[in-house]
């Protein structure tokens, strides 16, 4: 019989939901379309994402999560409620309130933690657990963090990059910065605007990042035609963008991630540092998939860096493992229940 335990990766860019015994059952953008006159929710998830940049004046498509935390409580609650009801229609819950494990960045405040818990409870959750995102990502990437060995993970999501060293099932040292996948998109947007006088949309910036993006100098030599609006005369315009330009656009944000990782390594106890040299560093999250990042970090940190097998779904998969062991993991750990 299926359980109704849910693991939720409540990301700035996407929401992934794992249903115990069934796997990942939902993967949709963290976007809600609202009517500004009535406050009514018109669409959620992929349907709402398609409206970004294409809506009339009285309809706004917003992301209720910013930098990994709730920026708009009511809209986040509406989004979670929609997704949970959507699963219920497919026969997920058997009429019982689900236990929910939600991942959050290492740096969020108690107030922000409470906001996440409250949103999950109001959306239909029974017991709600919170767990630190890099810990869940490490578990989802296949790292055995419950042994007395040092494991290091860099989880680059949409809103935050979380870096952590773990041992004995807990975080030893960590840091979280607001430079991640969405920042990369914004960097590309700003570069195109400044150097080509072209205004592009969110989807276009993301497509450029995926199709020709790189963080390595001379890492890729590809081009892409980009369409948008001329910022001077307002007319449609097409330009050709190169991988070299994208690398320059991303350079500053990538340097912040490198420095964050170095900072965590500098605070790591020597014995655990030795383990990390042997085991390497694991990259997780959608932002880690940008071309050349593993190679750049290997060069900068002098430690082998690997990309997780299913980097995009590591956090959701990690919730699955922790849900299976919720009673054991919750004892004496930072797992918070309400």
> How high is the pLDDT of residue 171?
92
In this prediction the pTM is 0.86
Q: What is the band of 275 on the pLDDT scale with cuts at 50, 70, 90?
A: very high
Residue 84: predicted pLDDT? 84
Q: Which two tokens stand for residue 224?
A: 């892409």
Query: Could you tell me if residue 127 is left (phi over 0), alpha (psi between -120 and 50 degrees) or otherwise beta?
Result: beta
pLDDT band at 323 (very low <50, low <70, confident <90, very high): confident
Alpha helices per DSSP H over 16-155: 46-49, 73-89, 110-122, 133-140
- Fold observed for domain 6-135+315-337: Nucleotidyltransferase; domain 5 (3.30.420)
Q: Residue 10: pLDDT above 80?
A: yes
What is the average pLDDT across 51-68?
80
> Which token pair is 121?
């409870």
Report the percent of the chain where pLDDT is more than 90.
Answer: 52
pLDDT tens-digit readout, 38-59: 888 889 999 988 887 777 778 8
- The answer to whether the CB of 148 falls within 8 A of the CB of 269 is no
What average pLDDT does the structure give for the chain? Answer: 88
Residue 314 burial class via C-beta count within 10 angstroms: exposed 0-12, middle 13-18, buried 19 and up: buried
pLDDT of the residue at 328: 57
Kindly report the CATH number that applies to the domain delimited by 143-307. Answer: 3.30.420.40
What is the C-alpha separation between 27 and 23, in angstroms, rounded? Answer: 11
Render pLDDT for 181-201 as a digit per residue (tens, 0 to 9).
999 999 999 999 999 999 999
Asked whether residue 332 carries a pLDDT value surpassing 60, the answer given is no
User: What's the pLDDT at 264?
Assistant: 97
Block residue for tokens 């809506």? 55
DSSP conformational letter for 229 = E
Q: What mean pLDDT is predicted for residues 205-225?
A: 95
Specify the domain boundaries for CATH 3.30.420.40 within the chain: 6-135+315-337, 143-307
| The pLDDT of residue 91 | 42
**pLDDT (mean) for 317-330:** 75
Interval 102-138: pLDDT, tens: 888 777 788 888 888 888 888 888 788 888 889 999 9
Q: Examine the pLDDT at 335 and tell me if it is beyond 60.
A: no
Tell me the mean pLDDT in the region 57-68.
Answer: 83
Q: How confident is the model at residue 305 (pLDDT cuts 50, 70, 90)?
A: very high
CA 35 vs. chain centroid, Å, equals 27
pLDDT at 227 over 70: yes
Q: What is the CA radius of gyration of the chain?
A: 20
**pLDDT value of position 239:** 97
């Amino acid at each position: 019989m299926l359980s109704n335990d849910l693991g939720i990766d409540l990301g700035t860019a996407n929401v992934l939901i794992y249903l115990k015994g069934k796997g990942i059952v939902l993967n949709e953008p963290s976007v809600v379309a609202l009517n500004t006159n009535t406050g009514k929710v018109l669409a959620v998830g992929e349907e709402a994402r398609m409206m970004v940049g294409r809506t009339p004046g009285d309809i706004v498509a917003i992301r209720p999560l910013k930098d990994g935390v709730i920026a708009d409580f009511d809209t986040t609650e509406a989004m979670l409620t929609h997704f949970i009801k959507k699963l219920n229609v497919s026969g997920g819950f058997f009429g019982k309130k689900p236990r929910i494990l939600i991942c959050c960045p290492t740096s969020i405040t108690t107030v922000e933690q409470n906001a996440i818990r409250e949103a999950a409870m109001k959306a239909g959750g029974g017991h709600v657990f919170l767990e630190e995102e890099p810990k869940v990502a490490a578990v989802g990437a296949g790292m055995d963090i419950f042994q007395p060995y040092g494991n290091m993970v860099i989880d680059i999501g949409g809103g935050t990059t979380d870096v952590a060293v773990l041992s004995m099932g807990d975080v030893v040292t960590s840091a979280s910065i607001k430079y991640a996948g969405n920042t990369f998109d914004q960097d590309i947007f700003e570069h195109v605007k400044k150097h080509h006088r072209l205004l592009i949309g969110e989807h276009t910036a993301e497509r450029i990042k995926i199709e020709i993006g790189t963080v390595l100098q001379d890492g890729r030599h590809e081009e892409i035609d980009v369409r948008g609006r001329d910022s001077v005369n307002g007319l449609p315009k097409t330009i050709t963008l190169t991988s070299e330009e994208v690398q320059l656009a991303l350079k500053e944000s990538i340097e912040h991630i490198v420095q964050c990782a170095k900072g965590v390594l500098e605070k790591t106890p020597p014995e655990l540092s030795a383990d990390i040299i042997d085991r390497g560093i694991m990259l997780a999250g959608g932002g880690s998939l940008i071309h050349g990042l593993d190679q750049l970090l290997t060069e900068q940190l002098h430690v082998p860096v690997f990309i997780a097998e299913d980097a995009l779904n590591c956090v959701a998969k990690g919730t699955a493992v922790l849900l299976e062991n919720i009673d054991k993991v919750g004892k004496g750990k930072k797992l918070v229940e309400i």
